[in-house]
């Protein structure tokens, strides 16, 4: 765990500091919780997130009952040292509703939104309720088409990078990323899984 918190944090009058929990791989904001000195100490000791539950008035180990723990990658403070940024590898949903995050899927940007859309299309396809005319559903339901398209898009990106303007390169890169995501979801994986591999390689 990388810990760059200053020796003295600026705790609030109630002894708490907001803790912004972020998926270390995707950058998605998962939840906002609160820490005090005791929960921060438990977090450091265990390598998993511990918070202070304001509603229950007690320490709270995230995932203690649900199993949806969060392995802490890093702890950092904001510029005023009165809030904590906690980067984690989540083991399951962060929200009590059973969703990845306590915000809608667009809180993590385009990649998170793409992952969520493809997961939805994949689940609908498995349930026999795929959206008629959906290109994503068509891709996810046809492995040969996915393999064909990933090859075509890779070639088009190479061609654009060698001969095209910057805008065309960006367009072809976006097409390739979309089809890479479709290949991953076709295997029951996600872009988040690939991003976690990149995150691990960065250390």
Q: Quote the pLDDT of residue 100.
A: 78
Low-confidence spans in the chain with pLDDT less than 50: none
Q: If 0-12 CB within 10 Å is exposed, 13-18 middle and 19+ buried, where does residue 172 land?
A: buried
pLDDT by residue (tens digit) across 34-51?
999 999 999 999 999 999
Residues 179-192 as b or e (16 or more Cβ within 10 Å = b): bbbbbbbbeeebbb
| Residue 61 to residue 52: CA distance in whole angstroms | 9
Cα–Cα distances in angstroms (integers) from residue 126 to residues 15, 75, 88, 129, in the given order:
48, 39, 30, 8
164 is written with which tokens? Answer: 């095209």
Q: Quote the pLDDT of residue 34.
A: 97
167 is written with which tokens? Answer: 């805008």
Q: Check if the beta carbon of residue 76 is closer than 8 Å to that of residue 6.
A: no
Q: Quote the pLDDT of residue 193.
A: 87
pTM above 0.85, yes or no: no
Termini Cα distance of the chain: 11
pLDDT by residue (tens digit) across 75-113?
999 999 999 999 999 988 888 888 778 876 556 678 888
């Amino acid at each position: 765990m990388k810990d760059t918190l200053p020796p003295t944090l600026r705790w609030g009058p109630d002894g708490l500091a907001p803790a912004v929990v972020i998926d270390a791989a995707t950058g998605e904001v998962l939840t906002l919780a609160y820490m005090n000195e005791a929960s921060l100490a438990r977090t450091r000791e265990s390598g998993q997130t511990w918070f202070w539950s304001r509603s229950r008035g007690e320490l709270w180990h995230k995932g203690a009952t649900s199993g949806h723990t969060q392995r802490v990658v890093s702890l950092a403070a904001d510029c005023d040292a009165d809030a904590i940024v906690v980067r984690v590898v989540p083991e399951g949903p962060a929200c009590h509703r059973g969703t990845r995050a306590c915000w809608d899927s667009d809180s993590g940007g385009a990649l998170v939104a793409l992952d969520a859309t493809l997961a939805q299309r994949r689940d609908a396809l498995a349930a026999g309720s795929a959206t008629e005319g959906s290109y994503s559903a068509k891709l996810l339901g046809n492995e040969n088409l996915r393999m064909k398209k990933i090859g075509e898009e890779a070639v088009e990106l190479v061609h654009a990078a060698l001969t095209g303007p910057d805008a065309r390169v960006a367009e072809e890169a976006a097409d390739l990323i979309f089809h890479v995501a479709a290949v991953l979801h076709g295997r029951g994986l996600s872009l988040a899984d690939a991003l976690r591999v990149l995150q691990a390689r960065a250390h």
